[in-house]
A and B are shown apart, each in its own frame.
Chain A
């Protein structure tokens, strides 16, 4: 049934002195870009350069939640396509990505939030994405564990129910994409650190790594939370990004209790039950820049306080493990997908904040097209860097920017 255990990423190879494309970062966006470069555009002479091991960063630390109920018309179609890709990739990669299409229930705690939800739902429905507004009673029928009484900090007024969303096994996506990309000949070099990107006359010429120089004319930096620091450090390009540490945790495993992803903006909290039975819950960010993946006492307590209020039965559960990852936040909560602008042959894919997992496949697909053709596909054109100096924040969040990273 399983045969011999073959190395998932093929046999090891030596780092070559030149590649058509070098991708810095071995996370989901890089793996997906490499996979689509090879599969859709026939560009297989690609090296992924990863300092640690694949999936070390956000790929292995995220919420695993997928959904397409974003706020603006630029984002919804992108995430819709991402949702549609999970079953396709499971098949194409022949790797079970374990898409649990359980639906997302986003709680609303005020009249104002209900209005905001209406707009989001209308936007979803306008783009053919299913989403509905529920009142508190209907939400409780869906998720019996909810506390819809008035005596909590943020009483539940209703919820946005988004049936197409759910959870995907994040590690499986890393390994599946890596397996898929390697099959086409993409080389994944782990334990290899990119130390510099060299340009000449405004063009990319090479990448320095801990294992030698690679000549190339195309470089993509999509290193998750580390992107902004690398892009500034290597190329002097400053970005409107603040990198924050985001935390999540799981309880001890339990027989089925929650059948949906439940989330609340007001409580800064989501909760869902993994296939293993743990209640996975997050996600708070300390509002100052960090590259630490340590956790805080403050947050695990905060999370317990929040869950005690709106999912009070969970008080009888025990937290088992808390971890953290990095989220590269932009002021308008939308990513930066750009390239061939400041430097010819240089591409960047960053600023996803905490949406990096749910978007990885589709971002990889369009970045691959961008890199193959040299021009941004329409789908991702609005996500260019220059929008900030043109005073055109995307509106993915309604919240006003005061101080960075307070967005």
Chain B
């Protein structure tokens, strides 16, 4: 495998220029109403999808942008579309 990631600024680059930033869990929740469970869900829990998922990456050795891509975690390749959850 050899992951490449398409940075919205720099284009397609070697995956090792990037750092993974987690499954996409949406915006940061408001503090009020967060229970230990819902806090834990946002901070620590993952769906661990074996298949395609939307996730965050930062181009750490490049332009520094944060962005999302869809990636197939079974093949470890970036994919264009989010569908086909296994």
Chain A residues near B (Cβ < 8 Å): 226, 228-229, 232, 238-243, 245, 286-292, 294-298, 331, 388-391, 403-406
Contact = CB atoms under 8 A, between A and B. Distances in A.
Contacts of A388: 40, 44-45
B80 interface: no
Given A238-B41, A297-B2, A298-B16, A245 B48 contact: no
B41 to A, nearest CB: 7
B50 to A, nearest CB: 4
Contacts of B40: 240, 388-389
B44 A289 contact: no
A226 B36 contact: no
B75 interface: yes
Interface in B50-71: 50, 53, 55-56
A240 B50 contact: no
A240 B1 contact: no
Given A287-B19, A388-B44, A292 B39 contact: no
B48 A289 contact: yes
Given A238-B41, A239-B45, A296 B2 contact: yes
B50 A390 contact: no
Contact of B21 (A241, A294, A298, A403): A403
B32 to A, nearest CB: 18
Contact of B48 (A243, A294, A389, A390): A243
Give the bracket for the number of chain B residues in contact with chain A. Answer: 20 to 34
Contact of B1 (A243, A292, A389, A406): A292
Contacts of B2: 296-298
A390 B44 CA distance: 12
B44 A240 contact: yes
B22 interface: yes
A243 B15 CA distance: 17
A229 B45 contact: no
A404 B46 contact: yes
B67 to A, nearest CB: 14
A19 to B, nearest CB: 26
B22 A403 contact: yes
A85 B80 CA distance: 49
A151 to B, nearest CB: 26
A241 B73 CA distance: 14
Nearest to A287: B20
Nearest to A231: B48
Contacts of A294: 1, 76
Contacts, number: 89
Nearest to B45: A238
B73 A232 contact: no
Interface in B18-45: 19-23, 36-37, 39-41, 44-45
Contacts of A239: 45-46, 48
A406 B48 CA distance: 15
Nearest to B76: A292
A5 to B, nearest CB: 37
B83 interface: no
A76 B70 CA distance: 40
B74 A291 contact: yes
B20 A232 contact: no
A290 B52 CA distance: 11
B17 to A, nearest CB: 11
A239 B74 CA distance: 19
Nearest to A244: B20
A238 B47 contact: yes
Contacts of A245: 1, 76
Given A296-B1, A403-B20, A406-B19, A228 B37 contact: no
Contacts of B21: 403
21 contacts: A239-B46, A243-B48, A243-B73, A245-B1, A286-B15, A288-B15, A289-B48, A289-B53, A289-B73, A290-B76, A292-B74, A292-B76, A294-B1, A298-B16, A331-B44, A391-B36, A403-B20, A403-B22, A404-B23, A404-B46, A405-B20
B49 interface: yes
Contact of B36 (A241, A288, A389, A405): A389
A245 B3 CA distance: 13
A405 B39 CA distance: 17
